[in-house]
Amino acid sequence: MSSNNVLENAVLLSVGFHLFGTRKTIGSDEVETDADRKMIHVCKDLLESDRLNDVRKFDGKLRKRVKALTTGASFLRDGVNLLALSLVESTNAMLTEAAIERGALVDVFMEQYPLARDAARDRLGSLFNPADYPNAERVRGAFWLDWNFLEFHTPGKLRGVSPDVWAAQNAKLELAVESAADAAVAMLRAETAGLVDALVDRLAPTDGGKPKIFRDSLIGNVKGFLEVFKDRNFCGDGDLETIVKKIGKLVDGVNPGHLRDSDTLRAKVGAGFESIKGELDKLLVDRPRRRINLADIGAVKDKATGAAA
């Protein structure tokens, strides 16, 4: 796949989730044991809060939403993915809206914070330490969601300082972009295969011949994938595009209710996905394998930044 497609059609999206940490290491001497204290490491939970769990659940769902829009790469650090340029505006709007919704959940937790702290005092007993609980302003400041749109870039000023250093960095950059293209293709193929495998499994009858139970999301996930596939396929993987078009035709006009009510339709769609699975299995054999560590490049430049609580 052409690395130029990555440079022209995609950026890197970095998303960070931050919240108040509720786990703290304590000294092993605070726990009664006959074990060698060098061999044990002990932590305590500072508090428990359903409202804090609401924030964590929200973050988990948002991570899934981001994943559904981006393409990962094994050499990128956690939280960084490839995003099609065509999805930058809508993704930024989605994250901006999510930050507002998340902030409202944090506000609810902050109302509960004093009560959760008091409950922890009773439950922790001698392990309770008031110093572990900052004031409300500091706790509120620990919650934030930030995102950055980045691009592969070798700083032009390096060329004026040292042409040799610039050339070496540019060579690393080119290799990284090639690796990014390979990774994007491999990850998108694997994701497609995962969706198809799930459908093949759930649409196939049990060993006893009875239809399996499946959720509406089984088809919903596929249709959601199809909606953004063209944007996510910024490397121009023609082989995968051909297969995805077949998937689209197979699920066009089909809803979970139809599949549950009709044995004939379920068998037809299941057979179709079984055939597609065979094509994907062959495609996965030839998946790209080149890797490089982006940390070795030092050539990523901020282009836009968003941050909010």
For residues 148 and 209, membership in a common domain is answered with: no
Burial class (CB in 10 A: 0-12, 13-18, 19+), 77: exposed
For residues 25 and 104, membership in a common domain is answered with: yes
For residues 162 and 136, membership in a common domain is answered with: no
For residues 176 and 269, membership in a common domain is answered with: yes
Look up the pTM and report it: 0.80
For residues 125 and 204, membership in a common domain is answered with: no
- Averaged pLDDT score across all residues of the chain: 85
For residues 97 and 204, membership in a common domain is answered with: no
pLDDT at 77: 74
Is 147 domain-assigned? yes
Q: What are phi and psi of 17, to 5 degrees?
A: -115, 130
DSSP-H helix ranges across the chain: 3-9, 50-69, 88-124, 136-141, 157-161, 163-203, 217-232, 238-251, 256-261, 263-285
Is 291 domain-assigned? no
CB 250 within 8 A of CB 272: yes
CB 68 within 8 A of CB 228: yes
Is 197 domain-assigned? yes
For residues 121 and 161, membership in a common domain is answered with: no
Is 213 domain-assigned? yes
CB 53 within 8 A of CB 19: no
DSSP letters spanning 8-60: HHEEEEEEEEE----EEEE-GGGS--SS-GGG--EEEE----HHHHHHHHHHH
For residues 53 and 136, membership in a common domain is answered with: yes
Here the tokens at position 42 are 């002990």
pLDDT at 169: 75
Is 295 domain-assigned? no
For residues 82 and 16, membership in a common domain is answered with: yes
CB 280 within 8 A of CB 196: yes
- Domain count across the chain: 2
pLDDT at 240: 95
Residues in the chain with pLDDT < 50? Answer: 1, 290-305
Strand duo 80-84 + 42-45: pairing: unpaired
Q: Which domain holds residue 166?
A: 157-285
pLDDT at 75: 61
For residues 104 and 176, membership in a common domain is answered with: no
In sequence order, the 6+-apart residues with CB closer than 8 A to the CB of 207 are: none
Is 292 domain-assigned? no
Cα separation, 179 vs 293, whole angstroms: 9
